[in-house]
Copies of this chain bind each other. A is one copy, B any other.
Amino acid sequence: MTTAQRIPARTRLLEAADRVLFERGIRDTPVDELLRQAEVSAATLYTHFGSKDALVAEALRVRLADWRAVWDQYIVAADNDLDRLLAVFDALASYRGDRRHPSRWCAFLAAASELPEAAEEISDVLAGDTALLADRLLHLSRPLAGGHAQDLADEVLLAYSGALAGFLRGSPRSPIDVGRRLAHAAARAHSRD
């Protein structure tokens, strides 16, 4: 015990936050629960982060960076334009399969929904997630749809968001598969003309 656990308190807090916050719900997770999970005292949390909101924001930023890295891998691994565009669904499947980042549906959309008037710091991360998705999908759409790249990108982003919302509905069929099919159909529709 003591500090022989080596992992610093700040890291343990962020990991506990990532593990609990988006699975149980941000509002439904009291600070005490985070303290218990991280095996950290209240004073430590407040010296490191200043507030629960700030910890939430930081946990979201970490998630966004992790997610971006996973997505990167799948884009690089794909070997044609279509697969590169659809890689976002493979990355999502992989990210959700990783038990270190559990989540009922989507951490960013959940934050937006649960905390409508959250600190700007928090809503900024959702904006960052959306911007990342929009920018990349637009870029990946260009070789497939040319002048209609913006339309295709919008459609894939919507299919992606729909897949996430599908988890909230508890769909019997895999939302990721359905979303992928949908994006595929959109890509074919745009590459035909």
Contacts and interface: CB of A to CB of B under 8 A. Distances in A.
Contacts of A170: 127, 130
Interface in A139-182: 150-151, 154-155, 157-166, 168-171, 173, 175, 178-179, 181-182
Interface string A101-130: 000110001101110110000000011001
Interface string A70-106: 0000000000000000000000000000000000110
A154 B178 CA distance: 7
Interface residues of A, number: 44
Contacts of A114: 25, 27, 113-114
B25 A168 contact: no
Copies in the complex: 2
B161 A169 contact: yes
Q: Which of A109, A114, A175 has the most CB of B within 10 A?
A: A114
A163 B163 CA distance: 11
16 contacts: A27-B27, A28-B117, A109-B169, A110-B113, A112-B169, A113-B114, A113-B168, A130-B169, A155-B178, A157-B171, A158-B159, A159-B182, A161-B166, A162-B179, A185-B188, A185-B189
Interface of A: 24-25, 27-28, 104-105, 109-110, 112-114, 116-117, 126-127, 130, 150-151, 154-155, 157-166, 168-171, 173, 175, 178-179, 181-182, 185-186, 188-189
